[in-house]
Amino acid sequence: MNTTVDTKSVASEAAVARGGQAPNFDRLAKLYFWMELVTFGPLLSRCREAFLSELRSVRRAVVLGDGDGRFTSELLRANSQVRIDAVDASPAMLDALLARAGQNAARVSAHCVDARDWQPANPPYDLIVSHFFLDCLTTEEIRALAVKLHGAVLPSAKWIVSDFAIPNDWFGRWLAHPLVWLLYRAFGVLTGLKIRGLPDHQAALRNAGFSLTRRHTWLCGLLVSEIWRPQGVELR
């Protein structure tokens, strides 16, 4: 069944929910790799690259908040044809991403803008990527972003999402929840991030017309990587 979504209304609701500016990740650009290595070792990289081998036929991608660009550089190496719009509010992170892309940087268009305000520059896309990025937004902001992107993708497009999750079991209650709480507090101090809990990205994406088709988990469900596909949503 088709669902009609008023994009102007969604954007307005998200703006009201925002209540602040984008966090500043510039100071983490040179530390990001080491912070990740110390806390989770290679596991976050495994999440990001879980579906990389399936992306060799992609031609137009938008990558949201890839930090220092480790996934972007791997995608460029794995796929010699793909062209990427890299969206990040941090100039330092975008500089790191382009440097890491090396000789493939010519296939990257960098957009230094808050993803909540960005307008798709080169649609239609056949790939959206958001690795450990949606957890910096509220559920309503994710929905608004997803509605906007739904109108900018091909029917066969994939949205790759990697993020944290809190399992509904003893591990979630006693280990995952406190760890996620500590991560939010640390990033709040370091970047000014105002979010203090995981958004419901699954509900937001479903509400915007995307359907979950694949899912991998690590660390008893604390880390997830997913593939979402657009469904029949009529945007107006």
Give the angle 92-32-221 at the CA atoms, nearest 5°: 130
Cα dihedral: 213, 216, 222, 228 (round 10): -30
Sketch the domain layout of the chain as residue ranges.
3-166+198-231
Query: pTM for this structure?
Result: 0.86
Q: What is residue 65's three-state secondary structure?
A: coil
Inter-residue long-range contacts of 166-172, CB under 8 Å, 24+ positions, other chains counted: 166/198, 166/222, 167/220, 167/221, 167/222, 169/221, 171/220, 171/221, 171/222, 172/221
Give, for all 236 residues of the chain, the pLDDT tens digit: 333 333 333 333 444 344 446 678 887 777 788 788 888 889 999 999 999 999 999 999 999 999 999 999 999 999 999 999 999 999 999 999 999 999 999 999 999 999 999 999 999 999 999 999 999 999 999 999 999 999 999 999 999 999 999 999 998 899 999 999 998 888 888 787 888 889 999 999 999 999 999 999 999 999 999 999 998 644 33
Residue 215 DSSP code: E
CA distance 141 to 93: 22
- 140: tokens are 């309503």
CATH for 3-166+198-231 is 3.40.50.150
